[in-house]
Structure 1
Amino acid sequence: MESNADDKVWDLTFSSSVSSVPAIEVDFDNVSNAVTDPSLIPLRQYDPDGLRTYLVLDPTMRTAVTGLFDFDTLDIPTQSLFDGRAAEENAEVAPYLVEATVASDDRVPRFNRDFLKRHWGQNTGIIVRSHAPFDAVRKHFRKFTKLRRESGGGWFFFRFWDPRIASIYLRTVQHSGERAEQWFGRGLIDSYIVEEMDGQQATIFRAGLPVKPSNTPLRSVILAEWELQPFRNSAYKRDMEKMAQALKADFKPELKAYTPEAIVSMIRPTLERFMGYGFRRKEHLHVIAAWGLFFGIDFIAKDPDGVLEQICRTQTSEADRFAALKKRMAQFGLPESTA
């Protein structure tokens, strides 16, 4: 999902206006071996119920595994979710729909076997089950490649085909009847199978409410703040973990006895305080976190003249305030860092 996440990754508030009734059912299966796992049977065996098996794939992630772009040589129906010039110009990066339905148990496509052996757990795409033909499924998913936010800001690419995005998003909208209608197309889509935990878990998302016949066209998805917030929370957690790893590398002797998880718990209060002052740049927060580790969470209060507090509250740019903080902290013997 493309967004200006760096600007708001530290905003941790969350609220949802959706109901408590599950509109999307969630089930999961632990996967020890994708080649034999029961939840991935649709890629290995014929389905007498007539459910077809599709995948929405990311060519960039797939190429990272195969070493070359191969969508033009696959032995199954394949087509970009983009059309016309956009499809041509983005041929190697645009999402693709492929049909991997097994016609009979003795005719499993080469693509399916390769996907199970090499691509499951590599974030190359999501599995979709549907009774609908290829063109109908493609038309359905084309509606979601570019979305808008309620808060404005124009269109942006929504990478729902990335398991890391799909996992967070489908769990977030689990209680929204409207979103269930939109993403499952009023019965068009039977289920989504999404890899989680680096492929150690296969999570199945199904519509949890009966399909109500309607002639009213489905509304376009316009993402609300409550749908976007979990992505910011996830990015925040990921960035905190990266920062802890970097600090541990910068100060190996001093932090040798501390795990990254312990370092996260130690730096979080300091970072959240400074984010409250409007500090957002990660290179600044990295150094501030180091000060918190070595001078204490409340190191601002330890300034006998209150200069640090004054600097933080000054109505100047973040860069100017950080420069002033460094100058003041130098007087107390700030720790050296590679950041």
Structure 2
Amino acid sequence: MAKFEPWIADCQFQQTDAHANCQSRAAVWADGPDSFRAQLSEHVQRQGLTLIWAEDCYPVPQYLAKHPARQREIGPVARVVCQNHPVVLTDLVTVEGEDQQAEDCNCVIVTPVEDVEPLDMQLGVYPPRSVPEVLQRPLFGAVDAIDEEADFYGGADAVPPMQTYAVLDASKMPYVLTGLLETSGLRFQSLFQRKTQQELGEYAPYLIELAPDSSFTRNLFTCSDGIQGLWEKGLGIYIRSRAGFEDVRRHLRKFTRLRDDDDQWHYFRFWESSILSVFTNEEAVELAEALLNDGTYRGQTWLVPAKTLRDVSIIQRAPGRYAAPTVPPRLTAPVILSLDDGINALRDAQDISGALDLLPESTAEQEIPDTVQLQSSLNMLWDQGFKASEKRQEALCFFIRASWLGKTDDASQILQNTAQGPAIRLWHLRNMIEGNAE
């Protein structure tokens, strides 16, 4: 049974009369996060305040272990709070506006790295590279501690080194990726647990602590022509943080399922390239910053490969937001719409790539339609009932070939005959194209 003791959290409140927001750290005599929030809410309501959020909510020893530089501030309130004096606040600091942390959308910085060339077989190269040269520094370079960071950790010598992690999606290589991880010698663990992990272990996201000299790390950044090259699989994202493995996993697990505005739960696949839409959407600033805030001073830096796997985006908190609290994450309607757009764009890109791969080698000299034309054709196929990815890709391939034969109108007529199923229409298209090719 949990015992009552002083708990601390970073809090934000709304002033009921002034409609302004203010921040404070609160000490509460509690036996857990729920009783902390309940007592604090009741207490501040009597002062004309409404609790908006409470973050980094821990018993005092655990809070100070995470934030040792705050000992001088927290010590006095922690010593005062008790059963007869259950709530104590530090000085309230007014913030400008209801959405201070979204001001100018400068909470998060996104830096593109273009034309990333994955590693090849590196024949005759010694020692072989583990990552492309352009990603060496972002992934494994040393990151010196700044003065404020040293103060946060209680001295420059106390600042933890920067670690490198990956979050990889086993569903893209069921029963293969987990086998590779087991023989990699690297530390790894699923972000799922208990019953969910038992049922979905081969389709789960896995956190891996990467080492620069690991063959598994090298395989992640090697093209498919190389031995065990995995780059084209688009397995996930890469993270840098001063937090240890358990703290990073605990932080990321908060995002595997999120509530929407209607209090409904959603699985949130933040390890997909579609997550880029969250970091570039002005409506998603709060979620974007929360993803990066793992309690370390700088927070996390993410490296997210684009859906084309030719570019990588480096995403980090803005220096002005270092160590600042964030709003608890929530999937608002604009965020869901943004994610849907990102997922749809990824799906369309995969369909177009798959259709082009189906084109016969004998047509290599033919001119490929531009991106706008291909997207328009793909949208048409969706409207005409080609819901299965394989059939949609095959239909797009046939439609491209029909355009080369000057049979676009004939192909369109076949495709628009929705009284017939997709398989029958594909059969007619194949016969038309192969008959004309002869």
TM-score range, shorter chain: 0.5 to 0.7
Give the drift of 1:81: 1.3
Q: 2:432 is paired with a residue of what secondary structure?
A: coil
- Of 262, 265, 278 in structure 1, the residue corresponding to residue 369 of structure 2 is 262
Whole-Å separation in 1 of the counterparts to 2:426 and 2:217: 52
Give the drift of 1:177: 2.0
The question of 1:179 aligning with 2:287 is answered yes
Check conservation: 2:274, 2:339, Cα contact below 8 A: no
Check conservation: 2:294, 2:300, Cα contact below 8 A: no
Q: 1:144 is paired with a residue of what secondary structure?
A: coil
Match in the other structure for 1:145: 256
Match in the other structure for 2:303: 193
Check conservation: 2:239, 2:301, Cα contact below 8 A: yes
- Of 105, 109, 121 in structure 2, the residue corresponding to residue 25 of structure 1 is 109
Whole-Å separation in 2 of the counterparts to 1:324 and 1:67: 39
What is the total number of aligned residue pairs between the two structures? 288
Match in the other structure for 1:40: 136
Give the drift of 1:242: 2.3
Whole-Å separation in 2 of the counterparts to 1:51 and 1:41: 14
Q: 1:48 to 1:88 in 2, by over 3 A?
A: farther
The structure with more strand, counted as a fraction of residues: 2
What fraction of aligned residue pairs are identical, expressed as a percent? 18
Match in the other structure for 2:314: 204
Is there any run of 5+ residues in structure 2 with no aligned partner, and where?
1-101, 118-128, 146-159, 223-230
Task: Name the Cα RMSD after superposition.
Answer: 4.8
Check conservation: 1:241, 1:264, Cα contact below 8 A: no
Determine which structure has greater relative contact order: mean sequence separation of CA pairs < 8 Å that are 6+ residues apart, divided by chain length: 1
Check conservation: 2:287, 2:330, Cα contact below 8 A: no
The question of 1:86 aligning with 2:86 is answered no
Q: 1:336 is paired with a residue of what secondary structure?
A: helix
Match in the other structure for 1:6: none
Q: 1:85 is paired with a residue of what secondary structure?
A: helix
Give the drift of 1:140: 1.6
Greater Rg by CA: 2
132-141 or 270-279: which moved more? 270-279
Give the drift of 1:152: 10
The Cα offsets for residues 243-294 of structure 1, whole Å up to 9 and x where unpaired, read as 2442x32xx66x45314x3386666655545655666556374455555554
TM-score by length of 1: 0.61
TM-score by length of 2: 0.50
Q: 1:20 to 1:175 in 2, by over 3 A?
A: farther
Match in the other structure for 1:106: none
- Of 228, 236, 239 in structure 1, the residue corresponding to residue 348 of structure 2 is 236
233-242 or 59-68: which moved more? 59-68
Is there any run of 5+ residues in structure 1 with no aligned partner, and where?
1-17, 101-108, 302-307
| 1:1-339 matched pairs, under 5 angstroms | 21-29=105-113, 33-35=129-131, 37=133, 39-41=135-137, 49=145, 50-58=160-168, 60=170, 68-71=179-182, 74-76=185-187, 78-100=188-210, 112-121=213-222, 122=231, 123-147=234-258, 155-156=266-267, 158=269, 160-162=270-272, 164-166=273-275, 168-169=276-277, 172-173=280-281, 176-185=284-293, 188=296, 189-195=299-305, 202-208=312-318, 210-211=320-321, 218-222=328-332, 223-246=335-358, 248-249=359-360, 255-259=363-367, 261-262=368-369, 272-273=379-380, 275-276=382-383, 280=387, 283=391, 285-286=395-396, 287=398, 290-299=401-410, 312=416, 318-320=418-420, 334-336=432-434
Whole-Å separation in 1 of the counterparts to 2:263 and 2:400: 33
Q: 1:116 to 1:290 in 2, by over 3 A?
A: closer
Q: 2:369 is paired with a residue of what secondary structure?
A: helix
Q: 1:173 to 1:268 in 2, by over 3 A?
A: closer
